[in-house]
Chains A and B, each alone.
Chain A
Amino acid sequence: MKAMTLKKKLLAAFLFAGLVPVFSAGAYLYWQSSQAIETEVFSQLAATRTLKTNALQNYFKLLKNQTLSMAHEEQVKEAFEAFESGFHNYSREQRLSSIDTTVFRKKLEDYYVGSYGAEYKKQNAGKDVDARSLMSLSDNGLALQYAYIADNEQALGSKHLLDSYGKGKSNYHSAHTDFHPNMREFLERFELYDIFLIDGPTGDIVYSVYKELDFATSLKTGPYSTSGLARVYRKAMELGTPNDAVMEDYSTYTPSYDGPAGFIAAPIWINGQKRGVLAFQISFDKINTIALEKTGSAKTLETFLVGSDFKMRSDSQMDSTNRNVRASFRNPETGSIKTEAITRAIGGETVERVGLNYLNTEAVISVAPFEVLGNRWVIQTVINADEAFASLSIMRIAFGVFLLASAVIISLFAAWFARTLSGALSKVTEGLRVEAEKVATTSVALADLSTKLSEATTEQAASLQETVASIDEISAMISRNADSASTSTRTSETSNLAARKGKEKVELMLESISAIANGNQEIIDQMQKSNREISEIVKVIEEISIKTQVINEIVFQTKLLSFNASVEAARAGEHGKGFAVVAEEVGNLASMSGKAATEITEMLGKSVNRVTVIVDGTKGLMESLIRQSKEKVEQGTSTAHECAQALDEILVNVSTVNEMVCEIATASKEQSQGVTEVNKAMSELDQVTQSNSASAMESSHSAGELKFQAEKLNQLIDELRGLVAGEVSTHARSFDEAPRASSTPSKRATKSQNNVVPFRSSKPAVKTVSSPAREVELKKASGISGEAPSANDPRFEDV
């Protein structure tokens, strides 16, 4: 673990943290699902099994009822009586001779050995049968077998199609003709293999539909007295009540070529007497159909029936060649199923389990016992585990893929994270190492500095004395400054006063100028007024001239009147003489007044012209004069304003100068205070200088200490590096053991070695530092203040 790199550790941690919950959750879910699916499969199987069981039980119940109802049928009873009496009296009726019997026997023998033997051989894989041993027949039996089997023109397996035997008359033949078609129809309708009527006392099979070799034999003494049919006949004869039937389980049956045959039988009661037995040979095709009928879509789901002899009672689907009903009875070794589940079911248990099926495949098995009219069968419903749990296997694969993908992703992430982290840590470690080296270097430098510091302290003391002398001179200059400042203040106050007076004068002047401007304006106003008055006079004159025109008009009219008067007077002759004179005088007066009016008009025109000329002349002259005076006034005003402005500026400047002088005075005062404080500070500086030299010595010690700390730091860094990179470094020792460190090829090691050397050589330097400090102390004791700075010191020039 210690040698593992940080990267590997992180990878392991991430994988552990990431995969454990995924795996456990997945496993839990898988377990849960498989449980659920298994339960589901079992319930499905049980349902199928129950369904089939019910169907089969119904079928067997039906069979039993058919047997019983047929046995109680009057027509059947009638037929039985007819066949029974016809059978027993057949030889007598036919009067058969021994020759006939021999012929019959010969013919029958041909049939037994030929047709039957060949079919038997075919069905039993080449096995021969001793056909002759089967020919143990009564005379009646021989004759009827001959009639209905050997002398039946119908082919083997279709002998039942013969309704009436035409050769010779007998009660049996007529009974057969009467009843056979109905019996055959019943057989076909109910899908039975055969129907038998058996005489109770003798056990003779007096009638069968198919006329196989059992026809007309005795179940008591005949060749089939140990067959299943014989057993069911005996059981039926033992029944005490008319409403019961018995069933004989499957067994090999020779007339059916040693194929399996099961029987169901009920006694025929006539008039309270048990006269015979009605027996059915059960069709296992019908049962097979019920068992094999598909329920659902599962491919390997099957249901089959097994008897208590472990032989098949219905065909299996998976091994239909060996495990069908016929094959099972012919070859019980390969055809029977004897699994543990079936054995237990025959024992009465219902078994539901996952285990090996009859073909040694993993399967889900549900098997239960099943009573069939007093016989125990078992019904098994089974499905291949592969199919049943197909979804589980998909889930398993998906889970595996998911787990793998998670692992890959986590690994990648962990690798990236580890790389980032270890990179960062390495960088930090590297940084720390460099810094530690720097610290080591710095501690050497510190020691050097301590030495220099104590030297500087000595120089400082000398400088202090020079500074004190300079400060005294500064103090003297400051007091001179203060004197000058107060003189300046007085001068600036005088200037201020003068400027104020000047300003007042300028303001007075401005007022006068504006008064002049006002006067000018008044003159203009007056001028305009007089011009208005003159133009009014002109107007009056014009009115007069208009009036004069009226006078002219009147004069003209008057003249005309005087002329007319003259005309009239002239007409009047001598009488009008006086009037003519008057008229002429009037005309003359009118002419005179007309002349006068014309003169007035002329005079008015002249005077108007003159007035206009005068007014225009005056106006022009006045305007130019006023314009000039206005310009002058404006010039005066602006000059006065400029003057006032200049004076204002002077005032401002004077006050600024005053303020500045005041500031100089204040500053000088503060300076003198400052100088005092500087003096005080100087003496304090002196003390500080002494303590500085002591500090220099201490800092030498500290440098040594710092070096030791740096070594320790380096050790720690190596440890950190080991943690990150997973390697054990020897750098830590490199400080103390230089030769060993140089043997490692690491760059860092040589660097740190370089750091060590100056450190060792710096130790004596610490001692040299202390000596200047002591010198300072010595100098102080011997009165260092007396030592003046040299005359050519550049600082003196500044003062």
Chain B
Amino acid sequence: MGSANNHSSSDASRFMEFSLGGESFAVDLLLVKEVITPPDMTPIPKSATHVSGLINLRGLVLTVIDARKLLGIQPEKTTTENAVIIFDLGERLVGVIVDSIQKVLHVPKENVKPVPDADAATPYMKGIIQFDNKLTMLIDPVILLAGTPSAKHKAA
């Protein structure tokens, strides 16, 4: 099935699909530096509740954000599939905890629809991916993580 997609459109884009509270979300695969199993975290005192702490990734210190808390989603019970996605936001790396990573989506561009002009549209929603009769929210991590302390700090 995947191989069929690969062959059918050369203009296809790749997304990483993950789940939060039973809902599926996706980000552009090129923004992902890597995925890791949740390592030991050093909590930061007096930080915002969605900041889980700091981790050491092969010598680099980065902030880990709990996406569920950031998005106000009730988390599913902790499973063994929890993972941290390390985003490369150009100038900095940020870790985001998700319930689980589903797969790498390989969808043609036409399957990525803009967000309907609904009342509920939010800035970090980049679009909706239609795939296998399933809708997956495409999120722009740069916008989503712009309000994070490290981003603000950077801006100042």
Residues of A within 8 A of B (CB): 552-553, 556-557, 559-560, 562-564, 566-567, 570-571, 580-581, 583-585, 587-588, 591
How distant is the Cα of A566 from the Cα of B104 in the complex, in angstroms? 7
> B residues near A, CB below 8 A?
2-3, 6, 14, 16, 29-30, 32-37, 80-81, 83, 101, 103-104, 106
Q: Which residues of A contact B80 (CB under 8 A)?
A: 552-553, 556
Q: Shortest beta-carbon distance, A260 to chain B, in Å? A: 166
Least CB separation from B1: chain A residue: A588
Can you identify 12 A-B contacts, CB atoms within 8 angstroms? A559-B101, A564-B35, A566-B29, A570-B29, A580-B14, A580-B106, A581-B3, A583-B104, A584-B103, A584-B104, A585-B2, A588-B103
Q: In the complex, which residues of chain B have a beta carbon less than 8 angstroms from the beta carbon of A570?
A: 14, 29-30
8 further interface pairs, Cβ-Cβ under 8 Å (given A563-B35, A566-B29, A567-B34):
A567-B29, A570-B30, A571-B30, A580-B104, A580-B106, A581-B3, A584-B6, A585-B2
The distance from the CB of B65 to the nearest CB of chain A, in whole angstroms, is: 19
A607 to chain B, nearest CB (A): 23
A118 to chain B minimum Cβ distance, whole angstroms, is 171
The verdict on A584 contacting B106 (CB below 8 Å), with A563-B101, A566-B29, A570-B30 known, is: yes
State how many angstroms separate the Cβ of B107 from the closest Cβ of chain A: 12
**Residues of A contacting B: mostly:** helix
CA distance A562 to B104 in the complex (A): 9
Q: Looking at A581, A584, A588, which has the most chain B CB atoms within 10 Å of its CB? A: A584
A567, A570, A581 — which one has the most chain B CB atoms within 10 A of its CB? A567
In the complex, what's the smallest C-beta–C-beta distance from B82 to chain A, in angstroms? 10
On chain A, the residues within 8 Å of B106 by CB distance are 580, 584
Q: Return chain B residues, CB-CB under 8 Å to A583.
A: 104
CA distance A588 to B3 in the complex (A): 11
What 5 A-B pairs have minimum CB-CB distances, sorted nearest first? A566-B104, A570-B29, A563-B35, A564-B34, A570-B14
- The distance in angstroms between the C-alpha atoms of A696 and B54, with both chains bound, is 152
Q: How far is the CB of B4 from chain A (nearest CB, A)?
A: 11
Mostly, the B contact residues are strand
Most chain A beta carbons < 10 A, residue from B6, B104, B106: B104
B2's partner among A552, A560, A571, A584 (CB-CB below 8 A) is A584
In the complex, the answer to whether B81 meets A567 with C-beta atoms within 8 Å is no
Query: Given the complex, which residues of A lie within 8 Å of B14, measured CB to CB?
Result: 566, 570, 580
| Minimum distance in angstroms from B19 CB to a CB of chain A | 13
**A560 and B104 contacting across the interface, CB-CB below 8 Å:** no
- Complex alpha-carbon distance, A727 and B30, angstroms: 174
A588 touches B2 (CB 8 A): yes
CB distance from B155 to the nearest CB of A (A): 27
CB pair B37–A560 under 8 Å, yes or no, is yes
Of all chain B residues, the one with the shortest Cβ separation from A555 is: B81
Taking the closest CB of chain B, its distance from the CB of A587, in whole angstroms, is 6
- Nearest chain B CB to A166 CB, angstrom units: 171
Q: How far is the CB of B112 from chain A (nearest CB, A)?
A: 16
Q: Determine the distance from Cα of A560 to Cα of B29 in the docked complex, in whole angstroms.
A: 14
A591 touching B103, Cβ below 8 Å:
yes
Chain A's closest residue to B101 (CB) is: A563
Beta-carbon nearest neighbor of B106 in chain A: A584
CB distance from B128 to the nearest CB of A (A): 21
Smallest CB separation, A585 vs chain B (Å): 7
| Residue among A556, A562, A591 with the highest chain B CB neighbour number at 10 A | A556
B32 close to A567 (CB less than 8 A): yes
Say how far A595's CB is from chain B's closest CB, in angstroms. 13
In the complex, chain A residues whose CB is within 8 Å of the CB of B104: 562-563, 566, 580, 583-584, 587
Inter-chain contacts of B83 with A (CB < 8 A)? 560
Asked if B33 and A581 make an inter-chain contact with CB atoms under 8 angstroms apart, the answer reads no
A553-B80, A559-B101, A563-B101 as given contacts; A581 in contact with B36, CB under 8 Å: no
Q: How far is the CB of B60 from chain A (nearest CB, A)?
A: 16
B101 touches A560 (CB 8 A): yes
Residues of A within 8 A of B35 (CB): 560, 563-564, 567
B79 to chain A, nearest CB (A): 10
Q: Could you tell me the distance in whole angstroms from the C-beta of B3 to the nearest C-beta in chain A?
A: 7
Closest chain B residue to A581 by CB distance? B6
Q: How far is the CA of A357 from the CA of B132 in the complex (A)?
A: 190
A588: B residues at CB distance < 8 A: 2, 103
Bound CA–CA A564/B101 (angstroms): 11
Q: Which residues of A contact B3 (CB under 8 A)?
A: 581, 585
Residue of A nearest to B79 (CB): A556
For A556, the closest partner residue in chain B by CB is B81
Expressed in whole angstroms, the minimum distance between the Cβ of A342 and any Cβ of chain B is 163
Q: What residues of B have a CB within 8 angstroms of the CB of A556 in the complex?
A: 37, 80-81
> How many whole Å from A601's CB to the nearest CB in chain B?
12
User: A626 → chain B, closest Cβ, in Å?
Assistant: 46
A447–B112 Cα distance when bound, in Å, is 167
| Residues of the B chain whose Cβ atoms lie less than 8 Å from the Cβ of A584 | 2, 6, 103-104, 106
A365 CA to B134 CA, complexed, in Å: 184
Write the chain B residue with the least CB distance to A552.
B80
Q: Which residue of A lies closest to B14 (CB)?
A: A570
Give bound CA distance, A307 to B147, whole Å.
185
Task: Please measure, in the bound complex, the distance between the C-alpha atom of A560 and the C-alpha atom of B103, giving whole angstroms.
Answer: 9
Contacts of A563 in B (CB 8 A): 16, 35, 101, 103-104
List chain B residues, Cβ under 8 A from A564.
Answer: 34-35
Could you say which residues of chain A place their CB within 8 Å of the CB of B6? 581, 584
Closest chain B CB from A701 CB (angstroms): 143
- Contact assessment for B36 and A560 in the assembled complex, using a CB-CB cutoff below 8 Å: yes
A123 to B37, CA, bound (A): 181
